[in-house]
């Protein structure tokens, strides 16, 4: 069985391309293609090498694996979307063992779709459709329904919501409620109530059952959240 260090890195690929170029005659179609490829890979092994070059350092030995993406938020949108896609695809690969019940949780999911990232939206929709076949539960959390209801990704956004067994809708502002209504069915009374919800209040939807609930955190849960609202 191969280990991660047995596989080539982008630097290996880049050096191979450079070697081919040095051995090629000038002004050929093949050389033009190789020069174009070399130009595309060059940033990956230089200024972006921290993100894309080298062997993985991830050793998922725990039953609870967290990918912290905080440091990625200030990167270029295209780079960030590529990194998010890699993370999500890796996490999805970890859930494909049917003999193990798993949960894939995507917090701040709107970040994955920022910049109208259609590839990210489509992949998340595929996960949502297929997860139950692999004994996997999904938890998708977002504060911005607008990123799911944008016309460029709404087909995938609706698929993400349509394949959910439950919804928990907490307080949202007027525009966010209108965006959410494009993804799930909400009557006028529910839309009005969601705008007025206080902390802990939510609409719980399970199939045809819909009820207003009040979520009360225990002291232990509040301690784990910390003063900043997160771990």
pLDDT tens, residue by residue, 53-84: 999 888 777 788 888 887 787 888 888 888 88
Answer for the pair 173, 195: CB distance below 8 angstroms, yes or no: yes
Q: What pLDDT does 85 receive? A: 85
3-state secondary structure at position 149: helix
The torsion of the CA quartet 110, 115, 118, 124, rounded to 10 degrees, works out to -20
Predicted confidence (pLDDT) per residue in 133-166, tens digit: 999 999 999 989 998 998 988 999 999 999 999 9
Measured from the Cβ of residue 122, the count of other Cβ atoms closer than 10 Å reads: 15
Residue 155 structural domain: 60-225
- Domain-embedded: residue 230: no
Instruction: Measure the CA–CA gap between 93 and 105, rounded to whole angstroms.
Output: 14
Residues of the chain with confidence (pLDDT) below 70 = 115-116, 227-231
Q: What pLDDT does 4 receive? A: 84
pTM of the model: 0.78
Statement to judge: residues 81 and 152 lie in one domain? yes
Statement to judge: residues 174 and 77 lie in one domain? yes
Q: What pLDDT does 229 receive? A: 53
CATH of the domain at 188: 3.40.50.300
Statement to judge: residues 11 and 48 lie in one domain? yes
Give me the number of domains the chain comprises: 2
Domain boundary among 9, 36, 57: 57
3-state secondary structure at position 17: helix
Partners of residue 25 on adjacent β-strands:
none
């Amino acid at each position: 069985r191969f280990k991660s260090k047995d596989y080539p890195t982008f630097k290996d690929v880049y050096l191979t391309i450079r070697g081919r170029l040095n051995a090629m005659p000038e002004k050929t179609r093949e050389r033009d293609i190789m020069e174009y490829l070399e130009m595309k890979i060059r940033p990956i092994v230089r200024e972006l090498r921290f993100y894309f070059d080298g062997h993985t350092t991830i050793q998922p030995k725990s039953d609870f694996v967290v990918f912290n993406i905080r440091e990625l938020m200030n990167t270029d949108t295209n780079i960030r979307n590529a990194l998010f896609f890699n993370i999500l695809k890796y996490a999805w690969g970890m859930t494909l063992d049917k003999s193990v019940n798993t949960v894939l949780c995507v917090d701040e999911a709107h970040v994955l779709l920022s910049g109208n990232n259609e590839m990210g939206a489509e992949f998340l929709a595929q996960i949502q459709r297929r997860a139950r076949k692999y004994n996997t539960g999904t938890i998708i959390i977002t504060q911005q329904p607008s990123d799911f209801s944008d016309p460029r990704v709404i087909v995938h956004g609706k698929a993400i919501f349509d394949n959910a067994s439950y919804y928990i809708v907490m307080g949202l502002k007027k525009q966010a409620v209108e965006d959410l209504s494009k993804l799930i069915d909400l009557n006028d009374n529910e839309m009005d109530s969601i705008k007025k919800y206080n902390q802990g209040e939510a609409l719980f939807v399970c199939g045809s059952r819909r009820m207003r609930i009040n979520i009360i955190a225990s002291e232990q849960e509040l301690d784990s959240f910390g003063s900043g609202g997160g771990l």
